[in-house]
Amino acid sequence: MYLFNRSITVNVQTDDYKTALVSGVFLDSHHEWCLNLSVDLETYEVTMAYGELRRAPHPDCLKVEERVKELVGLKLVHGVRKKIEAAVGKGMGCTHLTDLTLECVKGLVQARFNLMERQLPAEEMTNYVKDYLKGSCYHFREDSEIYG
């Protein structure tokens, strides 16, 4: 018997390569959060944020929905974690909304690599990825043969 389950899904799409729509769903045994962010792909600034808490364990949790608008204007660049926590987390926010927002940012980073592959020569893209991911996991560890 499962005592608990959790799923987080993130989708990133663009029609014009100028703006991305990042859609995330956080679903667990007690919560269902939906989040949509519109992001300017030149500046990585959130231009629109809409969130809906469809299921929550406590009625007052629904008050946190209004905090989603605090994401508008954030630039989703290095160091954004603390800004997201301040905007939608901590004592007046929701840890699950923070988690979902951070997963949406990670999805956007992955999508950025796909966009760059369409715009950069292969060698330049390979070098960028190696520099960006250096030290982030076993494959990109600093003593790896890819850096030798």
Statement: residue 61 has pLDDT above 90? yes
Average pLDDT, the chain: 95
First to last CA, the chain: 49
> In a 3-state reduction of DSSP, which class is residue 1?
coil
Among 24, 25, 38, 22, which Cα is nearest to 109's? 22
- pLDDT on residue 8: 98
**Which stretches does DSSP call E strand in 106-145?**
none
Q: Is residue 148 scored above 90 in pLDDT?
A: no
pLDDT for 113: 87
Residue 116: pLDDT above 90?
no
| Nearest alpha carbon to residue 46 among 66, 24, 64, 70 | 70
Sequence-separated (6 or more) residues with CB below 8 Å from residue 13: 20, 21, 23
What integer pLDDT is reported at residue 66 of this predicted model? 96
pTM of the complete model: 0.90
| Domains present along the chain, CATH in parentheses | 6-115 (3.30.390)
Residue type, 6: R
C-alpha distances out from residue 3 to 58, 123, 132, Å: 19, 48, 39
Lowest mean pLDDT among 68-72, 96-100, 110-114: 110-114
